[in-house]
Each structure stands twice: as C-alpha cells, then as structure tokens.
Amino acid sequence: MDEVILDIKDLVVEYHTDEAVIHAANGVNLSVRKGETIGLVGETGAGKTTIARSILRILQTPPAKLCGGEIYFKGQDLLKLSEKEMRAIRGNQIAMIFQDPMTSLNPVETVGFQIAETVRIHNKCSQAEAEKRACDMLEMVGISSDRFNEYPHQFSGGMKQRVVIAIALACNPELLLADEPTTALDVTIQAQVLEMIQTLKERLGTSVVLITHDLGVVAGFCESVAVVYAGDIIEYGSVEDIYDHTAHPYTVGLFGSLPRLNSKERRLKPINGLMPDPSNLPEGCPFAERCPVASERCTKEKPEATELSPGHFVKCFHAKGGQ
C-alpha cells in the first residue's frame, strides 16, 4: 500500500472554444498507492471526469488542451509518451469504466467479441484463447458465458454495465478509473456492481479511482477521499479524516445537504449559490462567494494546501489549523 502507482503533479487542463477558455483543471495534485481505492467527489462540472480522462489521455482535442503538469504512472510520465505507447497502456495497465454503458458498447458487435478484442489487442494469444478469456470474464461479472454471442441491446442497463466492467478488467489492469459506474443503475444493481468491483479489486490487487456523487458509496468503498471543486482538490485525506474531521466549508456543506435518519430537521441544508463560471474564475478562493465564513482575504488570495494532520490536506484560510 505504500508504493505510489499514480502521481499527478500540477495538472492544468483547458477547453478552448470560440467564445471562451474553460479552466477545467487548475493545478491538480493527487497520488494513488498500489491497491488503494480513492474517491473523487464534488458537484457536476467540478472537473472530476477531466482528471480521469487526462490520465488516459483521451480528452477530445480540440477543444481540450493539456497546458501543464505531469502524470506519473509507475514512475513514467504519461504526458511524454507517444500515442502508440499510450495505446499499449490503455485497457491493459490502465482501464476505465465509463459513466454510460449505453454509449460505451458498440451496438453492432456482440459483447463477447468486444471483450475478446481487448484481450487480443494487448496479449499475444489466439482467437480461441481470447474468446475463452472473454467467457471467463463474463462469468466473473455474473453473466452466463452462453450470452457471449448476444448484442448490447439484449441486455438490461445493469447487465450492460457488467459487460463494460468485464472489458475494463479483461487484461487485469493495475489501475481502474471508474467514472460514476453506478449512476445509471437502480439502487439494488448499484450495490451488486460495487460489491463486484470490490471483490475483483481484492482478487486482482487493482488500484481504483472512483468518481461519484454518492458520499455513502465513498464511505463504504474507499480508503481515501479527494474533494474536487472548480477544477482543484480543495480537501484530501483518509475517509476518517474527511468524514470525522471535516475541515473545508465546502465539504461541510456537502455533508450538511445529506438527509439524516437521526435528525428531526424537516428541510435539508443546501449549499447556497453555484460554482463559479469556469471561464471566469475569481481571483481568490473559488468557493468564497458561497462560503459562510469567507473574509476579505478569501476574495483576493488563493489558499495553499495546509496539512492539518498527517495525510489530511485542505485549501482554506479558515479551516482548523489553516494559514
């Protein structure tokens, strides 16, 4: 668990359009250890998916532009590799479960072919060996291998997501990027899919970056949490740090907006306002306009990361132990 398998340093990503420049990732720093599961949480549009797609270098360019930073995977800077070298890593050493299984699968190819294709591309094996591996993966995710020759439209939403997971794990990747893998599924299937990912993670020793809005999923599934806001990580730490010693006002607001069974309050407490326009970010702290404890300093100066306790970092002037 002490070996760092992924290390992102000062990642900057912009989207250039005719109307504006969107600042999607603004100096992101993140480390993932071998066998660790880390949760990226935050509002829609915070930049979570941009971070994940940057790791695999599958941002659509244009309009996306990697403007700076380094992404080290097993000590190798992915941003300096050629496209041919990256193709050897995608799906093999680093795999991604995309948010919508409906658009992740090819509707005119059988699910078995799509899994076997991934195996065949990255491993020197025969067609029969690739198909055998594909059948094994289908069984591993709870789908009968008899359905090898069926098409995506013959599967339910939950079953499609299982196929996507089978494709992602077919080559035993060392790092799995799961972009809201349960968003399109009902609650029962969500639990089954997460339990399956956890079982496969433990069996294969895979590191996982889980992107989600669900703080309950993070609590039960992750060891570490990174809270993303306006293209930056504003609080980072272990699950215990984030849940029991919440420091940033935004993180406090996220927990305050959750319903609680042991509370008599009749209304939730939403975070007032909206995230700042990513094409026109404020000079100071990006959360200042929505923050209940913001001062004049917050509107003029960006806070640096402060370590409140070992491994627990926060970017806030008013957090306990802040600057």
Rounded to whole angstroms, how far apart are CA atoms 179 and 144? 25
Strand residue runs (E) in the chain: 4-16, 21-33, 37-41, 64-73, 76-77, 94-97, 175-179, 207-211, 224-229, 232-238, 306-309, 312-314
Rounded to whole angstroms, how far apart are CA atoms 142 and 1? 29
Region for residue 69 given its phi and psi (left: phi exceeds 0; alpha: psi -120 to 50; beta: otherwise): left
Largest CA distance in the chain: 67
Q: Where are the alpha helices (DSSP H) in 65-151?
A: 83-89, 101-104, 111-122, 127-140
Closest by alpha carbon to 231, among 47, 8, 85? 47
Kindly list the domain boundaries of the chain, sorted by start residue.
Answer: 94-172
287: pLDDT confidence band, cut at 50, 70 and 90? very high
Residue 47, φ and ψ in degrees, nearest 5: 115, 10
Closest by alpha carbon to 194, among 217, 163, 170, 164? 217
Task: Supply the pLDDT for residue 169.
Answer: 84
Lowest mean pLDDT among 2-16, 21-35, 180-194: 180-194
| 299 vs 266: which has the higher pLDDT | 299
| 104 vs 24: which has the higher pLDDT | 24
Q: In the β-sheet with 207-211, what is the strand arrangement from edge to edge?
A: 94-97, 175-179, 207-211, 37-41, 224-229, 232-238, 312-314, 306-309
Task: Supply the pLDDT for residue 123.
Answer: 87
65: pLDDT confidence band, cut at 50, 70 and 90? very high
pLDDT per position as a tens digit, 99-140? 777 788 999 999 999 999 989 988 888 999 999 999 998 988
Rounded to whole angstroms, how far apart are CA atoms 250 and 235? 9
User: Residue 235: beta bridge partners?
Assistant: 227, 314
Q: What percentage of the chain has pLDDT greater than the value 90?
A: 56
